[in-house]
Chains A and B, each alone.
Chain A
Amino acid sequence: MSALRILVPIKRVIDYAVKPRVNKAQTGVETAGVKHSMNPFDELSVEESVRIRDKKRAPGGVEDICVISAGPPKAQDVLRTAMAMGADRAIHVDVKEGEDLEPLAVAKLLRRAVEEEKSNLVILGKQSIDDDANQTGQMLAGLLGWAQATQASKVEFGEGDFVSVTKEVDGGVETVRARLPMVVTTDLRLNEPRYASLPNIMKAKKKPMSKKTLADFGVTAERRLKVLKVTEPAPRQGGGKVEDVGGLVSKLKELGAI
């Protein structure tokens, strides 16, 4: 049984509790001065990796947990958070502010990172809550020719490098099994991420973070999709309140809903 070398890609996004505002020029969403944090699905990936080690779930043990993020210098904050949660080390790939990579470019970057770090398990969030694409993990698995298990709610390790993953699918769950190496993407049901304790935050400052550029991974920030405009969704007007159940029924009838 091979020891696990886990790569955990993470992304810095606008905090999930913040309501994003479209900028005046309609080119994107206002990010300046807005609270950012780790993509919630990526917190689950970090947590799962750390739990696999802490609970000794993999017969071959966990040799390394490396987190990686491609983003502006502030992405280092989320990498530190991940290390405070228990990751061993981090790679920051510097990307200029406003030069966001598309999932395909990220997948290409990660393919090279996997080769360099000799990873045999990549755990990603199922989607980032800004772009909502839900693509990177699947693209990476395709480029590597590895097995993939998306929207995982349970990951179990067996003998012979087998990994069984229970996935959230439409209408219920499905279990698939594959041999390492593989790519897993996380669903919300997978675990409950821990809060980093202050001592761990202090320790994380001493953990190694290597700094790289896109060129180190042979990728560029070229875009295949040109954003023509970003607009606010059509606003919905509340129709007011009714006094009682009778009023509710007659209003629904009036609206033709029943």
Chain B
Amino acid sequence: MLCTARRIVPQQLRGRLTQATTSPVAFFSPAALRRLASTLAILEQREGKLNNGSLSAISAAKKIGGPIHGFIAGNSIKAVAEEAATADGLEKIVAVDNAAYEKGLPENFAPLLVENIKKGGYTHVIVGHTAFGKNLLPRVAALLDSQQISDITSIESENTFVRPIYAGNAVATVESSDPIKFITIRGTAFAPAELGKGSAPVEDGVDPKAEAIAEWVSEDLAKSDRPDLATAGRVVAGGRGLKSKDEFDQIMQPLADTLGAAIGASRAAVDSGYADNSLQVGQTGKVVAPQLYMAVGISGAIQHLAGMKDSKVIAAINKDPDAPIFQVADVGLVGDLFEKVPELTEQLKK
């Protein structure tokens, strides 16, 4: 926003100078200036590990202009706050060290954010459109009487944003009139800010110590050595055509290993039990935009396309030549996936 400020001040000066009644001091006072943008980028961490994808919130904040503060909270977060403080573009990190926030429960995390947003006087609050961000931010927005803007893919100006609606079948440009803009961003639309480039100071935030009216009981996260689906450079995804869980694993894993790709799945494959829920790509699952998306045995329903059609290159293998996936694929191969995929895996190994 600094550049905008420079642009605005002369305009205001010109305006004010023609009305000679205003004292020269008044137009340099903050009240005389339009409120300048400043952004709080909420970063995710779990057990001292920074979610690198959440650094996209900082990149998005840069497009708004003005100072950017990062926010991080949880149990013994000193090290992870220091790590986040090296992100390019940050002015400071606001950190709250309290085990009560470790699991990101919105019942106490939302009041925590409300206090820190009020204290910092931010005009924009940004978080990734992840399970954490989706769960938390609307609650914060409601507490501050603001209409959140979800899953944006582009920032046109400090109050104008672009977001897909109807499963990506339409794109809406919306202008917010709220004094504080609450925004969740589509991670694949904003590259994560680079670490190791900055050295922002870490400051303690305010901790209202709100009562936690819900408790975290347990979690069961799929463990995998593969790249994270949402941020992977390459994704191979299987659909109903894989026929069973065993065949899904037998066919898809070697292909993924050869390409160094993450594995995704269509809703049909997930519902049939071939793959874990967390692998679902689509409107109701994850949205991915890798360099290469290879759809295997996936017909290409609109629900699925909503989650992958921004991929750089889409390849499809399907036995049905009329499958809608071929309308979006850069390269398609009609054939039996049980024959073609192992053959492809072999050729790629060479």
The chain A residues found within 8 Å of chain B, CB to CB, are 14, 16, 19-20, 22, 29, 102-104, 107, 127, 129-143, 145-151, 153, 164, 167-179, 182, 187-189, 223-233, 236, 238-242, 244-249, 251-252, 255-258
Contacts and interface: CB of A to CB of B under 8 A. Distances in A.
B21 interface: no
A245 B176 contact: no
Most buried by A among B135, B145, B327: B135
A153 B285 CA distance: 13
B106 A138 contact: yes
A172 B220 contact: yes
Contacts of B134: 134, 138, 150-151
Contacts of A239: 329-332
B269 to A, nearest CB: 13
A153 B280 CA distance: 14
A240 B332 CA distance: 6
Contacts of A177: 214-215, 217
Nearest to A147: B214
Contact of B331 (A135, A233, A246, A251): A251
B215 A176 contact: yes
A224 B167 contact: no
B142 A242 contact: no
Interface string B315-346: 10100010000111111111100001001100
Given A20-B166, A178-B215, A233-B170, A248 B330 contact: no
Nearest to B222: A172
Given A170-B131, A257-B291, A139 B331 contact: no
Interface of B: 103, 105-107, 110, 130-132, 134-143, 145-151, 160, 163-178, 213-222, 230, 234, 259, 267, 271, 276-278, 283-284, 286, 291-292, 302-303, 309, 312-315, 317, 321, 326-335, 340, 343-344, 347-348
Q: Ordered nearest first, which 7 A-B pairs have the shortest CB separation?
A: A224-B147, A138-B138, A172-B221, A139-B142, A142-B139, A178-B214, A239-B330
A131 B142 contact: no
Contact of B165 (A104, A132, A249): A132
Given A132-B166, A151-B131, A233-B164, 20 more contacts: A129-B283, A132-B163, A132-B165, A132-B283, A133-B148, A133-B150, A139-B138, A139-B139, A139-B148, A170-B132, A175-B216, A176-B216, A176-B217, A227-B174, A229-B173, A230-B171, A238-B326, A251-B331, A252-B292, A257-B312
25 contacts: A107-B142, A129-B166, A132-B151, A132-B166, A132-B167, A134-B138, A134-B150, A142-B106, A148-B214, A150-B135, A170-B130, A172-B221, A173-B221, A174-B219, A175-B216, A176-B216, A177-B217, A225-B177, A226-B175, A236-B327, A238-B328, A240-B331, A241-B326, A252-B315, A255-B313
B277 to A, nearest CB: 6
B331 A142 contact: no
Contacts of B314: 236
A220 B217 CA distance: 39
A111 to B, nearest CB: 9
Contacts of B141: 104, 135, 139, 142
A175 B218 contact: yes
A164 B107 CA distance: 15
Contact of B140 (A22, A129, A142, A251): A142
Contacts of B326: 238, 241
A241 to B, nearest CB: 4
Contacts of A135: 138, 141, 148, 150
A170 to B, nearest CB: 5
Contacts of B167: 129, 132
